[in-house]
Amino acid sequence: MSNPNNLQHLIGFVLLLSQFFIFLSHANVPRPSFSNLLDVSSRFPSLSFEDSYSVLWGEPAISEDGNQIQLRLDDHSGSGFVSHDNYLYGFYSASIKLPADYTAGIVLAFYASNSDEFPKYHDELDFEFLGNVKGKPWRMQTNIYGNGSVARGREERFNLWFDPTTGFHDYSILWNDEHIVFMVDNIPIREMRKSEALGGDYPSKPMALYATMWDGSPWATDGGKYPVNYKYAPFFTSFRNLKLIGCAANPIVEEQQSDQCKDLENQSAIRAAEMLSLSSDQLAALKWVRSNHLYYTYCDDKGRYSVPLPECTSEASTPVAKKRRPHKKRSGRSTHSTPANSGQRERNLIERTEGLQIERSQTGLREGFSLPISRRVPHKGNRKTQQ
Ligand SMILES: *[C@@H]1O[C@H](CO)[C@@H](O)[C@H](O)[C@H]1NC(C)=O
Ligand SMILES: *[C@@H]1O[C@H](CO)[C@@H](O)[C@H](O)[C@H]1NC(C)=O
């Protein structure tokens, strides 16, 4: 053992062995039978576009019966839609089919937010899909912001266990006063339970639902290396089975509204016993997804949070990713080209975004994913079309 070469070999061997066991523990989560899973989505009715949404910007195509919507991105504009109302707690869901082939630089966001009403301390729940070059898969990430916690990104990134461009899949967010659950085809992929320690970081003000498709060329794919290529435009993302349940609430009159929302019928649907915690089948499915398809979680990012955020260490926290991908440092800015008709408000948004971006790169944070979607999409101008 006195030979330093031997010692090096031994250390190398031990490291290899530990990698092997990490690999084993990883591969050992059996794929559960998803047929036992509670079909959460079928509990709630689909709504037609006119009943619940309006066009936010651009020119989405809406089918005659109002049950299918296509967001469009071309070299002229992206597009988006937004719910008429804000909802205090809710179930937000849609079946979505993403565009195929070359989609680098494209961002498709399906999210709840109240940044229009509370620009300084908004809440946000995000599904975000990032396009890719031909032959490489879309990537999906989720994020949660509560009461303006914009300095604390809670990103988690997943690869999908299916091709999201060949068929429709359900992407859903259940949000009540016990927990937030992100689901894909009713399979829970992420849960955040409400706790004292989270304080205001647990979203608890009414939010509207948004779907937007836009050009994220400067950062979305490999840190901006692959921008949108409009040779392949127009790009379409299709939506159907739009579901939106909750207590429609005026976000400004907060407290009064939350009383009003306490025992309405819509609340009981999202507060039914099986909506308040995950069953053992759901937990098994959650574990399977997180062991096999989660490749980044903020909980595991020691470089970013030397003291993990409260939910990462609590009993209730969900398992963390074991595999780590090296993170490239992103250079450049994270805003994207501004759709036509953008007004002063939108310019402000961009400026604010850039300000934050600079701050972030100075503190050594990475990838520009850490901004709320609502601060990256300069589109809010024509929202106020209804009373
Ligand atoms: C949210 O932030 C506002 C403004 O900072 C603060 O007054 C309020 O108490 C916070 N709410 C919660 C639930 O923490
Ligand atoms: C309950 O949900 C339905 C469907 O979204 C909606 O039309 C209705 O306005 C909601 N009721 C309340 C009181 O929010």
Mean pLDDT of the chain: 80
- 123 vs 340, residue with greater confidence: 123
Q: Over range 291-299, report the average pLDDT.
A: 95
Pick from 27-36, 165-174, 189-198, 327-336: least confident: 327-336
- Tens of pLDDT, residue by residue over 81-101, are 999 999 989 999 999 999 999
Confidence check: pLDDT of 356 > 50? no
Specify the pLDDT at position 5.
66
Confidence of residue 15 (pLDDT cuts 50, 70, 90): low
280: CB partners within 8 A, 6+ apart: none
- 46 vs 325, residue with greater confidence: 46
State the distance from the centre of ligand 2 to the C-alpha of 358, rounded, in angstroms.
42
Specify the pLDDT at position 332.
34
Q: Over range 304-332, report the average pLDDT.
A: 61
Confidence check: pLDDT of 328 > 70? no
State the distance from the centre of ligand 2 to the C-alpha of 265, rounded, in angstroms.
8
- Tens of pLDDT, residue by residue over 197-235, are 999 999 999 999 999 999 999 889 988 899 999 999 999
Neighbouring C-alpha atoms within 13 Å toward the C-beta of 101: 8
d(C-alpha 103, C-alpha 236), whole Å: 10
Specify the pLDDT at position 255.
54
- 349 vs 274, residue with greater confidence: 274
d(C-alpha 82, C-alpha 52), whole Å: 8
Confidence check: pLDDT of 26 > 90? no
Which of 56, 52, 134 has its CA nearest to residue 94? Answer: 52
Q: Over range 42-50, report the average pLDDT.
A: 91
d(C-alpha 334, C-alpha 336), whole Å: 7
- 256 vs 65, residue with greater confidence: 65
Q: Over range 323-328, report the average pLDDT.
A: 42
Specify the pLDDT at position 260.
64
Owner of token pair 């308040």:
276
The CB of 147 under 6 Å from ligand 1? The reply is yes
Atom of ligand 2 nearest to the CA of 247: 14
Confidence check: pLDDT of 373 > 80? yes
Query: Within 10 A of 325 (CB to CB), how many other CB atoms are there?
Result: 9
How far from chain centre, in Å, is Cα 60? 21
Per-residue burial over 260-278, b if 16 or more Cβ lie within 10 Å, else e, is: ebeeeebbebbeeeebeeb
Specify the pLDDT at position 316.
46
State the distance from the centre of ligand 1 to the C-alpha of 5, rounded, in angstroms.
59
CB 148 within 8 A of CB 130: no
The CB of 264 under 6 Å from ligand 2? The reply is yes
Confidence check: pLDDT of 317 > 90? no
Which of 126, 62, 99 has its CA nearest to residue 229? Answer: 99
CB 97 within 8 A of CB 65: no
Confidence check: pLDDT of 175 > 50? yes
Confidence check: pLDDT of 355 > 90? no
State the distance from the centre of ligand 2 to the C-alpha of 83, rounded, in angstroms.
12
Specify the pLDDT at position 336.
33
The CB of 254 under 6 Å from ligand 1? The reply is no
What are the strands of the beta sheet with 79-83, ordered from one edge? 53-57, 79-83, 208-215, 106-113, 124-130, 139-145, 156-158, 294-297
Active site residues: 124, 128
Pick from 204-218, 253-267, 358-372: least confident: 358-372
Given ligand 1 and candidates 118, 121, 254, 258, which is best to mutate, with the most ligand atoms within 8 Å of its CB? Answer: 121
Ligand found nearest the CA of 250: 2
Specify the pLDDT at position 360.
35
pTM summary value: 0.79
- 155 vs 31, residue with greater confidence: 155
The CB of 355 under 6 Å from ligand 1? The reply is no
Percent of the chain residues past pLDDT 70, beyond the cut: 72
Specify the pLDDT at position 364.
32
The CB of 149 under 6 Å from ligand 1? The reply is no
Atom of ligand 2 nearest to the CA of 52: 5
d(C-alpha 278, C-alpha 59), whole Å: 39
Which of 132, 85, 152, 134 has its CA nearest to residue 112? Answer: 85
